[in-house]
């Protein structure tokens, strides 16, 4: 068992949801309930940047332009915030944007849960929409794959999707029915890793579409997000289990209880300090530092 230490840091604002490392050696996170973007340099004092209080900022990611980009789920916008706090918003049709990630083409790619399309926005705000072949798929998280394409979860279609830079989509159905995949990330092994919130499992998809599933010890844990760590493993949150966990390339899974009961871990990311950080929706960030095996 890997020895870890977990420390929690309360942050102001409502509902830390997603988290990422910025280009300024700080953690940036969305505050979905209070309509803010938070910033914390590890060891420092958190600060918030105000958005529309009802905008529902959701996923946040570093952009290719040195700024942070995020989705505003309830306001149907893509947001951009510079490291000194200047905010710009780009209005979308009513589509429920959720996932967002930088692509290999220098643009940001996002998912539209309500309309089921994949979108692309350039750093100067030009938006392209790519229609989706399957209605009601509820595309959720998205990430850049190792193959110059974007990979995304299809939460209500029980599949993983791939879209290339020309907008061509391939769909990979998942083995376990109704598994509801949410988080997805590219692993150090060159595969895509996802978590299935309804089935309580972690999955691995190779770029050619071969899928392997690894059930969690607690199938009711409701895993939500996943990210690569520095230890060769992928780290994930268990929203209902109140845990963080790790999975190695061969499928070995370990889980670790969070200190505070009912803390609702959602987003997870590798921090600028080499630790794994997770956003706890009840009002804190948790730092997971790795010890020896």
Per-residue pLDDT tens over the stretch 59-114: 999 999 999 999 999 999 999 999 999 999 999 999 999 999 999 999 999 999 99
Q: Which two tokens mark 273?
A: 């300090």
CA–CA separation, 231 and 274 (whole Å): 10
**pLDDT given for residue 292 in this prediction:** 46
Is 266 annotated in the active site?
yes
**pLDDT given for residue 290 in this prediction:** 83
Structural domain count, the chain: 1
What stretches in the chain show pLDDT beneath 70? 291-293
Q: Is 281 annotated as a binding residue?
A: yes
- Model confidence, pTM: 0.97
Quote the DSSP letter at residue 77. Answer: E
| Residue in the structure block whose two tokens are 């510079």 | 82
By the 8 A CB rule, do 199 and 211 touch?
A: no
**pLDDT given for residue 293 in this prediction:** 39
Beta-bridge partner residues of 118: 111, 130
CA–CA separation, 84 and 74 (whole Å): 25
CA–CA separation, 81 and 282 (whole Å): 24
CATH assignment of the domain containing 189: 2.130.10.10
Q: Cα 187 vs. chain centroid, distance in angstroms?
A: 13
Active-site position among 49, 76, 117, 266 = 266
Contacts 24+ apart (CB under 8 A), 120-127: 121/69, 121/78, 121/90, 123/63, 123/64, 123/65, 123/67, 125/88, 125/90, 127/78, 127/90, 127/92
Q: Is 238 annotated as a binding residue?
A: no
Q: CB within 8 A of 44, min separation 6: which ones? A: none
- Among 141, 65, 75, CA closest to 106: 65
Q: Is 224 annotated as a binding residue?
A: yes
Range of the domain at 191: 4-290
Q: Is 254 helix (H, G, I), strand (E, B) or coil?
A: strand
Q: What is the dihedral of CA 47, 285, 184, 123, to 10 degrees?
A: 10
């Amino acid at each position: 068992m890997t020895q870890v230490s977990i420390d929690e840091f309360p942050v102001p604002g409502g509902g830390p949801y997603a988290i990422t490392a910025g280009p300024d050696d700080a953690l940036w996170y969305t505050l979905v309930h209070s309509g803010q973007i938070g910033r914390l340099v590890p060891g420092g004092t958190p600060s918030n940047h105000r958005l529309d209080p009802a905008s529902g900022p959701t996923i946040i990611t570093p952009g290719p332009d040195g700024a942070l980009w995020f989705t505003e789920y309830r306001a149907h916008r893509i947001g951009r915030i510079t490291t000194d706090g200047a905010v710009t918003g780009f209005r979308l049709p009513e589509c429920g944007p959720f996932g967002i990630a930088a692509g290999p083409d220098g643009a940001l790619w996002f998912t539209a849960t309500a309309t089921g399309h994949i979108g692309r926005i350039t750093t100067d705000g030009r938006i392209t929409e790519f229609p989706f072949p399957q209605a009601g798929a509820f595309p959720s998280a998205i990430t850049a794959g190792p193959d110059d394409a974007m990979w995304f979860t299809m939460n209500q279609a029980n599949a993983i999707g791939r879209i290339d830079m020309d907008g061509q989509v391939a769909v990979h159905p998942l083995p376990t029915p109704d598994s509801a995949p949410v988080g997805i990330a590219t692993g150090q092994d060159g595969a895509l890793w996802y978590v299935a919130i309804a089935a309580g499992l972690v999955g691995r998809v190779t770029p050619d579409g071969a899928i392997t599933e690894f059930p969690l010890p607690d199938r009711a844990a409701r895993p939500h997000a996943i990210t690569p760590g520095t230890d060769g493993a992928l780290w994930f949150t268990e929203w209902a289990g109140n845990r963080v966990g790790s999975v190695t390339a061969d499928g070995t899974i370990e889980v670790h209880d969070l200190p505070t009961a009912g803390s609702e871990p959602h987003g997870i990311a590798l921090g600028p300090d080499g630790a794994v950080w997770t956003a706890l929706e009840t009002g804190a960030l948790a730092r997971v530092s790795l010890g020896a095996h």
